[in-house]
Structures are given as structure tokens and as C-alpha cells.
Structure 1
């Protein structure tokens, strides 16, 4: 075993070389089989050199990685305890980030073992890595944006793993990483960002466009598909222009993207904020474009095909037509003949878009048709896409008390479903519109009174806005 005094001498010289930056001196003190152990774990992967390194080349790489982005500002050996061939060192260090200027200071302990050959064979560190984690994350969001622009998907995934914010905006453009990747047409990067928590619904700060708008403008179909499959709203409207993704796909002459969006149910009867309907805008595009007009003509064929398909589907929707007309006998016959009870109306940018017959019947007050549809197995909890409302919302919102009474007894009904736009339950809606009888029916059926809407209001809060304080429904809600 190496004597204590000799171990002290070797270790003291080692840290003098570390402090002065004498890498040759450091390497000369190490055995070829050196184990350089830095405390890496799943929480500090942002610090690039925290792992177990073996051999002198490993030590060199560990120091190289450490100095890529940081520099030692202060270093002090504060204590040294030696027992034979082992040394325990307490060091202080202050390091700074080269790019952000952030600096952190901390103490750390090292255990060093010297072999009979008077070379160091084991060098293990022990410290709280939290200060360094903060240091290395100080520019991580900028590095993420740089990796996105460079198309380095592996680097993007690594930075997201290490804590980069996928929704932090670029300072110069106001774009999120997802919007940047979408605009560049990089489907792989988009998928990595979405997997890392990027907001598919976020908009840019200048025009209010979504990542889907950006992808459509680029024309990369794979990127468009990745966003839609992640839940992007196909008909999201840019507040500055009123453009939907479909409008942009037509404007930028990407017929493949036009076809895909039409297949996803994109609306064809919407308008811009500057006075054109989509169709009028497209006619304008056809008239003013000379180059690339063949792509517009290809898109025009797709639009006409979609129009034809919609007309065919509407013609087939006999059950919906009978429901909308309030024709109970025809509804009964169609159901007996096997009509699809939950068939949804095509998107025509109208009042019945993607509604089921039950949603329309409960909204329009057709009690007997509601009874027939429920008996035929209609989905009592079906929702429509505009407000995210279910049949109970439709019934109480319009004050249809008998329909409400029928729905609350339907097997599997969700009495407390909260709508997507405002978080209101059917009970909220009944009170909001002053239909206390519908509210009583819901309460008798066991509707909850503690749920809050997006405005923070309980049903009691809504009722107090609508009814006199001595109204019986107020008393009942307070008792509940």
C-alpha cells in the first residue's frame, strides 16, 4: 500500500494541475485503467460529462465536454484527508457559462485511490448537481431552436429530454420550435417536438397562425399529416386574415395538401376577414395567376369532387332530414329499415355540421323523435365539434324539460359532461338560460353541483347571476 504522505503528495499535485489547466500533468498522474466516475443519472443528463469514464482517453473527453460551454472562474481545495492509498478531497468551484454569462458555485467531494505504481486508478466525485443543471439549462431553449432550424432531430430529442421548453418562442420571430419546424416542412422534427410536449394549437405572435398553417404554406404533406394526427384543428382561423389551412393550401398551390385537408373534413364555405368567401378567393387566385396555374386547376378538381361527395352524403342522410323536419313517422320507418342512428352530417359550415340526429332532435325539441332514437340505440353522450356539447346540453340550453327528463334516465348518460368551450355542465346551461325546471330535473337525477366552468363559476354562482336570491332553485343549490 502506498504510504499516506506519498498519496497526499500525488493528490495535491493532481489538483494543482487541474486548477492550472495542465492536462498533461493530470494525465501523467493517471493509470491506463483509470476509472473516472462522475455522478450521472436520469435527472442530470443536461450536463454532458456526467457518467463513468474509463481510461485516459475517457478522462480527456470528460474534460473536453465540460469546457465546451463552461469555464472555471474560481477553484479552491478546501480540505484533504488521506488514509494510506486513499484520499478524500473537498473542493470549491465557481464556473461560468460561456454563452449566457450565468455563474454558479458549489462544493464537491472526491475519493481518489492510488495504486502501488503510484498512479491514480480510481477517481470518483460526489456532489449535488442542481447548480450545474441550472447552468447548462441557461441556454437550452436557444439550443433547441438552433437544432430545429438545423434539422438535427437527434439533437432535438436530446435537448427535449434534458428539459428544453418546446413552447419557448424564438426572440426574433415570436415562433415556437413547432411552428419553425412546421414552416420548414420537417415532419421528423415536428413529431419529436410533439412527443416532447409541444402545443399543437399554439399560434404565432404576429399573424395568429398555427403550426398547421405554417406546414401548409410549406407544402410538405407528411408534416401536415403529423400535425393533424396530433389533433391540430383543420379549420383553425388566423385572426389577422381569416385564413384556414385549406385557404392557405389553395393560395400556395399545394394540391396534394388540398386533397388531404378536404379528406379530413375541412370547411369549404368559410370566408376571409377581408370580404372574400373561400370560393371567391379561389376564383381570384385562378384569374391572377399565370405561373403554376395547372396546380390551381388540379385543386379545383378536388374541390368540385368534395362538393359532389358532400351532396351525395346529404342525399343519403334521410334520417337527419326527417329529424330536422320533425317527421316522427318517417324517422320511425327509416330506423325500422336499418338507417344508421348515429350518422353524422357532413361539414357544410352550417348548424348541423357533424351532428348526429339525436343532437339535432334534442336541440330542436322533437320529443317523440328523441324517444325513437334512444330506443334505436343512439349515443346519448355524442358531442358536436362546435361547442363540444352533448344532447343534454342541447336540451336544457333550449328549455326542453320533457326531453331533459327523458335523457337523464337513458342508460349510461353523463349528467355532468363539461362542454369544451366554457366547461359548463348541463346544469350550468339550464341555470344560465333561466330554465329552472330543467335544472330541477338534473338535480333530481343526481347532477353534481360542485363542478366549475372555465370562468370559475359553480352552478350556484350562475344561478345567482340569473335568479332572485329568494328563488327556490337558489335555496336548493345552497342546500346541495
Structure 2
């Protein structure tokens, strides 16, 4: 093995040992450098790797792109660099996550705004069949929901469990002030307050069963039955 090959092999071993994402076999060290830089939030190193020919859509062994790694860690500047370089906000990993879908999990408004210029597909679904709005409703990400509703995302999308964002907010929320505000936002955006789950149980019925008095009052005020 030549000296250059030995050095490249050593660098790959160091990146792996440090927990850096390892590119798929054959993608090259520069791609591994791109992935590692994106994961740690080093925008300068990301730019350098791209200048040296890294594939902006290179993937690690879990099928994660640099943009997905940046989105998951909320490295906004890195995401902006990658978006400018043409990174795909809809590239799915082995678990069907995408950079755009991850924003609904993290609730990062800054990352949402960084990805919008890339034209994300608002209908792309995660492994549970949900759009980015739904995990945000589950986790109580009020600011994110307020922002993502401006995009025209389907407020009544039903995931594979048979739940809308409204149902997720009621069933998985605690009925506290953040979830009350989410209900207000969803109702104002046109959420169907009577759209029931697979068992025919409505958001209002769930709220009453969980003792969410304030949420139930909001739903009744919106005409829920």
C-alpha cells in the first residue's frame, strides 16, 4: 500500500474512532470529512470539503446526508451552506427521516427557515406516515407550529396511526398552556375539530377523557361535538 493510501486509511480510522459519520464504501475520504464537519457544525470545514469535490448528497452508513446531520443537530449555518450548494431537503435516511421532517422533531424555527429556500416537499412522510407538523404537535413546539402553518402544510393530514396534528396534541399532550396554544393555532389554520381517530373518538372526547378542561373549552368554542 502506498504512502498516500496509508494516510487516507489512517484518517478514515481516526474519523470513525471519534464518532464521525462514516461515508458509504467508495464515497471517499472527502465525503467523510463533509459528513463529519456537518455533524459537528463546522461550516468552514463543510465549505472546504465541498470545494475539494465532496458530494453534497454523500451518505453515511445510516443513509444520512450532511444536511440531515446538520438539521438533527440544529447547525443552522451549516445547513445554509449546504442548501446554497444544492442539498436535497427531502433526502430520506434508513429510517425515512429527512432534513425537513427533522425540523418537526427538533422544533427549530431557524432550521425551518434555512431549509425553505430549498423547496422542501411539505407532503413527505416519516416512518409513521406523518408530515413535519405532527411530531411538532406531539412535542409542544408552539413557535415551530406557528411558523410551519404559514407554509400551507396540510393541517388535517392523517398519519398511519389515524391521528392528525390536533389529535396528537390532545392525546399525547398534557393540556397545559403550550398545548392550549397549539390547539388555538390549529383551529385558526382550519383544523377539523371533529375529525376522529380510527376508533371514532374525536379530539373533544379525548380531551374530556384526559381531564383537559381548557382544551375541551377551546374545542367546544370552535364548534366541536
Same fold, TM-score > 0.5, yes or no = yes
User: Aligned residue for 1:270?
Assistant: 157
Tell me the CA shift for residue 150 of structure 1.
1.6
**1:209 match: secondary structure:** coil
Corresponding position of 2:177:
294
Task: Decide whether the 8 Å contact of 2:39 with 2:69 is kept in 1.
Answer: yes
Q: TM-score, normalised by structure 1?
A: 0.34
Alpha-carbon RMSD across the aligned residues, in angstroms, is 2.3
User: What SS does structure 2 have at the residue aligned with 1:98?
Assistant: helix
**Structure 1 Cα separation of the partners of residues 4 and 147 of structure 2:** 53
Distance (whole Å) between structure 2 residues aligned to residue 138 and residue 234 of structure 1: 32
Secondary structure in 2 matching 1:100: helix
- 2:73 corresponds to which residue? 184
Change (3 A) 1:143 1:252: same
Distance 1:280 1:138, change over 3 A: closer
1:201 aligns with one of 87, 90, 108? 90
Cα distance in 1 for residues equivalent to 2:5 and 2:115: 39
The answer (yes or no) to whether the contact 2:87–2:118 under 8 Å persists in 1 is no
Higher share in strand = 1
Residues 373-412 of structure 1 mapped to structure 2, 5 A cutoff: none
Match of 1:230 in 2: 118
Q: How does 1:4-403 map to 2 (within 5 A)?
A: 95-100=4-9, 138-171=28-61, 173-206=62-95, 208-238=96-126, 240-286=127-173, 289=174, 293-307=176-190
Aligned-pair distance for 1:257? 0.7
Q: C-alpha deviations, 1:373-427, integer Å up to 9, x for none?
A: xxxxxxxxxxxxxxxxxxxxxxxxxxxxxxxxxxxxxxxxxxxxxxxxxxxxxxx
C-alpha distance in 1, partners of 2:104/2:167? Answer: 20
More RCO (CA 8 Å, sep 6+): 2
Structure 1's 283 and 266: CA in aligned 2 closer, same or farther, altered over 3 A? Answer: same
> Distance in 1 between the 2:162 and 2:188 partners?
25
| Contact preservation (8 Å) 1:185, 1:219 | no
Instruction: Structure 1 unaligned segments of length 5 or more: list them.
Output: 1-71, 74-93, 103-136, 309-480
Cα distance in 2, alignment partners of residues 256 and 306 from structure 1: 14
Deviation at 1:95, TM superposition (A): 3.7
TM-score, normalised via structure 2 length = 0.71
Cα distance between partner residues in 2 of 1:241 and 1:196: 30
For residues 352-392 of structure 1, the C-alpha deviation after alignment (integer angstroms, 9 at most, x for no partner) is: xxxxxxxxxxxxxxxxxxxxxxxxxxxxxxxxxxxxxxxxx
Give the C-alpha shift of residue 232 in structure 1. 0.4
> Matched residues in 2 for 1:233 and 1:156: separation?
25
Answer yes or no: is the 8 Å Cα contact 2:133–2:148 preserved in 1: yes
Spell out, residue by residue over 1:85-140, the C-alpha distance to the aligned partner (whole angstroms, 9 max, x if none): xxxxxxxxx643424279xxxxxxxxxxxxxxxxxxxxxxxxxxxxxxxxxx9311
In structure 2, distance between residues paired with 1:209 and 1:95: 36
- Structure showing the higher helix proportion among its residues: 2
Using the TM superposition, give the Cα deviation of residue 197 of structure 1 relative to its aligned residue in structure 2, in angstroms.
2.6
Asked if the contact 2:170/2:179 (under 8 Å) is kept, the reply is no
* CA distance in 2: counterparts of 1:187 and 1:214, whole angstroms: 13
Question: How many angstroms apart in 1 are the aligned matches of 2:168 and 2:68?
Answer: 25
Distance 1:177-1:305 versus aligned 2 partners, 3 A rule = same
Query: Quick one: distance in 1 between partners of 2:124 and 2:40?
Result: 28
Deviation at 1:259, TM superposition (A): 0.6
Q: CA deviation at 1:203?
A: 1.0
- The whole-number CA distance in structure 2 between the counterparts of 1:299 and 1:279 is 8
Q: Is the 8 A contact 2:130 2:159 kept in 1?
A: yes
In the alignment, which residue of structure 1 is the partner of 2:206?
Answer: none
